[in-house]
Amino acid sequence: MTQHPTQSPQFFLTAPSPCPYIEGQFERKVFTHLVGEKAPALNDLLTQGGFRRSQNIAYRPACETCRACVSVRILAEEFRPSKNMKRIQQRNADLIGAVHDAEPTTEQYSLFRAYLDARHRKGGMSDMTVLDYAMMVEDTHVESKIIEYRRRGPDSIVTGVGHGELVAVALSDKMADGLSMVYSFYDPAQHDRSLGTFMILDHIARARAASQPHVYLGYWVNGSRKMAYKIRFQPQEHLGPKGWERYDHEAVRS
């Protein structure tokens, strides 16, 4: 893991770069390192303040003329799945998620590579090597976990572990007030399962089982098709100038 001094965090500002969500806009980010014994507490504090984690970096948008990126967290205890979400849960009832330490495997990378090639061929992560993936998973000083989703076996109810091929993976951080979904990916050939939605529903269930109030989804950009799925998980809160406020959306929940 990358090592850095463990004194009070220093914050830095990136140079402008093209925005991946809004054409013609440029983004800047403020960031700091999450290292040392204080990293978990700092990660909690910064996530509650709208930051996201990538490896041992916590960052948030700091664009000069745009405030389109909005931090979103689901209110897990109040959440009720829509009819469509219930169908997705039923469709994936044969899957079970096993929690592991944040350690990369070749099987995970093969699935990650297939997912990127199918869904994000032109994205910023498209050229990630197996070493890049390993760094994404294991370069962390906070309590990060990998959840591997496989089909249930005859002993899964006892072991909590599935069998057969890896279907989906979520990299998540355990926080004092909930779970933060850092990154997730799945088998693109099984698109009928809606595995992205299923993993969010599973995280909501895990947060509720642990009596934790929130599931953090990162940033939502109104009008961005890439981000549209996040608004479907109601009720939720958005971080604004006055802090976290309940957001009511008129989307059809079917």
Residue spans of the domains in the chain: they are: 12-70, 81-210
- Give strand ranges (E) for 157-228: 163-175, 178-186, 214-221
CATH number of 81-210: 3.40.630
Beta-strand pair 12-13/17-18 = unpaired
Q: State the pLDDT at residue 3.
A: 52
Q: At what angle do helices 130-138 and 106-119 cross, to 10 degrees?
A: 110
CB atoms within 10 A of CB 216: 24
Q: Is the bond preceding 235 in cis, omega lying within 30 degrees of 0?
A: yes
Q: State the pLDDT at residue 121.
A: 66
Q: State the pLDDT at residue 254.
A: 45
Mean pLDDT, contiguous 10-residue spans, the chain (254 residues):
62 93 90 95 96 96 92 97 98 97 97 91 77 96 97 89 94 97 97 97 98 97 88 96 87 46
> CA 246 → CA 47, 53, 64, 237, distances in Å?
17, 23, 26, 4
Closest-CA residue to 214 (of 169, 173, 243): 173
DSSP per position, 27-86 = E-EEEEE--STTHHHHHHHHHHTT-EEETTEEEEE--SS---EEEEEEETTT----HHHH
Q: List all residues 6 or more positions away from 137 whose beta carbon is below 8 Å from its beta carbon.
A: 102, 103, 104, 108, 144, 146, 171
Is the Cβ–Cβ distance between 244 and 213 less than 8 Å?
no
* pTM recorded for the entire structure: 0.91
Q: State the pLDDT at residue 9.
A: 86
Q: Is the dihedral of CA 78, 97, 192, 196 positive or negative?
A: positive
Length of the chain: 254
